[in-house]
Amino acid sequence: MSLAQKHILLGISGGIAAYKTATLARLLSKAGATVKVVMTKGGQAFITPLTFQALTGEPVLTELLDPEHEAAMGHIELARWADLIVIAPASANVIARLASGRADDLLTTLCLASDSPLALAPAMNQQMWSQATTTDNIASLKERGVMMFGPAEGDQACGDVGLGRMREPQDLFTDIENHFNTGVLAGQKVLVTAGPTREPIDPVRFLTNRSSGKMGFAVARAAVEAGATVTLVAGPVHQDTPRSVKRINVETAEEMYQAVMTEAQDSDIFIATAAVGDYRIANKKDHKIKKTDGKLHLDLELNKDILASVAQLDAGPFTVGFAAETRDMEHYARDKLVRKKLDMIAANPVGNGKGFDQPDNSLHVYWPDGEQEFPVMHKGKLARHLIDTIAQIKAS
Ligand code: PMT
C-alpha cells in the first residue's frame, strides 16, 4: 500500500521515545506521505523541532496562538488537512488531556477540532500505564474510536520492565500502512476525469457544456475513501479538491488527453466522468471576432477520444466510461462499451433537469456479462456504489 499523497499529522508529546519518532517521520516521508509535525512543550524537551523540519521538509508547529502560522494554515484548516493524526509518543498526560477534551495547547486543540482518524502510540512507565486513571482514559478514548498503536512490552528507559514502551518506528509505520489498507480499492491507483472542457473560439469565447464536475469529484472522493491513490484531471469547475487527491487542472479536450495519457499507464483504474467536448473549433481566431450583419460559420473538427485511447493501451488500466444519453440509453451505452472496448460503462439519463449540474443522479452500469442499476440518489452515495461495483467486477 502506498502512502503517496496521504496527509499525516504527527504529534509528539513529552517522552524519551520522542527521539524514535524521528525515524518514523523519515519512513513516512520516504513513502511519499506529506508529514506535518506538531510538538508539545514536553516533546520539545526531548528532541528539537529542527530535527523534524529537516526530516519532513515542513515547518514544525508548536504554538496555538502563533500569528505567523495562523496566517499560512490556521489550526482549524490543519485539523481538516490530516488524513490521519498519529501521536507518538503519546504520554500519560496527553492521553488524559485528550480523554477529558482539553484544548490547552496546539496538539490537543487540533485533535478536538478534527474529525480525522486519531491514533495514539502510548509511551510511559509500566506503573503509569497500569494505573486505573490511565486505563479508564484509554477505554474512554477507544470507545470514541481512537486507535491505539501499542504500547509494547520490554525494557524501559527508567530501568523497569513491562508494558508501556512505544512501539518501534517500523512497527508504527506498518500500523499506519494497515490503517489505509482496508478499503475495497486499497493499494490501487485510480485516475478520474471530471467536469467539462472548453474549446476556444477566439480569445474571449469558447464552446463548452453544462457539466459541473460534481459527479467526477464524488467519484474521486469515493475512490479515496475506498483506499485508492487518486489523480483527478479536472476541467474548469468550481469544486473543492477532495482530501488526498492529486488534481491536474486542464481546459481543452487536448489538454485533458495529454494529462490522462501521461497518467494512465501508471494507473490501475481509469474512470472517465468528464463531459469532454467531442469537437474543437478548426478555424480558431487569434483576435476577438467582430460582429457583422451576415451569418457566422464555425468549422468544427473532431477531438481525440480520450476514453477509447486509454482502452487501447497495452496493459492499460481497467477502463470505465460514462454515457450521457437523452434517449435509448441502454442501446447507446452498450454500443460505447463494445465499440470503445471498455471494461464497464455507467450510463445516466441527461437533459430536462437530469444528470448535469444536479446534486442527485441515477446510473445504469453495464459490463460485458452483467449490469446493475442504481436509482436516483445523491451523487456522493452513487459514487460509492459505483466504486464498490468497479472493485467487485475488476476482482472477479
Ligand atoms: O459534472 P456533473 O454536472 O456532475 O454531471 C455529470 C455528468 C452528466 C457529466 C456525468 O455523469 C457524465 O455522464 N459524464 C460523461 C459525459 C459525456 O461526455 O458522455 P458521452 O456519452 O458524450 O461520452 C462517453 C464517454 O467518452 C465519457 O466517459 C467521456 O468522458 C468519454 N469521452 C468523450 C469524448 C472524448 N473526446 N473523449 C472521451 O474520453
Dist. CA 223 → ligand 1 center (Å): 18
Q: Where in the sequence numbering do the catalytic residues fall?
A: 158
Q: Whose CA is closest to 141, among 177, 102, 189, 170?
A: 102
Distances (CA, A) of 223 to 20, 29, 170, 268, 344: 33, 23, 27, 12, 16
Segment 345-384, tens digit of pLDDT: 999 999 999 999 999 999 999 999 999 999 999 999 999 9
Query: Ligand 1: residues whose CB is within 6 Å?
Result: 193, 195, 211-216, 253, 272-276, 278, 303, 305-307, 321-324, 336, 348, 350, 355-357
Dist. CA 262 → ligand 1 center (Å): 20
Dist. CA 298 → ligand 1 center (Å): 23
- pLDDT one digit per residue (tens) for the chain, 396 residues: 568 889 999 999 999 999 999 999 999 999 999 999 999 999 999 999 999 999 999 999 999 877 777 666 678 888 889 999 999 999 999 999 999 999 999 999 999 999 888 999 999 999 999 999 999 999 999 999 999 999 999 888 888 888 999 999 999 998 998 888 778 998 899 999 999 999 999 999 999 999 999 999 999 999 988 989 899 999 999 999 987 789 999 999 999 999 999 999 999 999 999 999 999 999 899 999 999 989 999 999 999 999 999 999 999 999 999 999 999 999 999 999 999 999 999 999 999 999 999 999 999 999 999 999 999 999 999 999 999 999 999 999
CA pair distance 120, 43, nearest whole angstrom: 15
Atom of ligand 1 nearest to the CA of 325: 21
CATH class held by domain 189-395 = alpha beta
The two beta strands, 300-302 and 7-12, are: unpaired
Atom of ligand 1 nearest to the CA of 321: 28
Domains of the chain by residue range: 7-180, 189-395
Whether omega before 122 lies within 30 degrees of 0, making that bond cis, reads no
Q: Whose CA is closest to 33, among 8, 53, 66, 64?
A: 8
Does 7-180 match 189-395 in CATH topology? yes
CA pair distance 107, 94, nearest whole angstrom: 9
Q: How many CA atoms lie within 13 A of 235 on its CB side?
A: 28
Cell of 234: 479536472
Mutate to test the pocket of ligand 1, among 273, 301, 327, 343 (most ligand atoms within 8 A of CB): 273
Q: Structurally, what CATH architecture does the domain formed by 7-180 represent?
A: 3-Layer(aba) Sandwich (3.40)
Dist. CA 236 → ligand 1 center (Å): 14
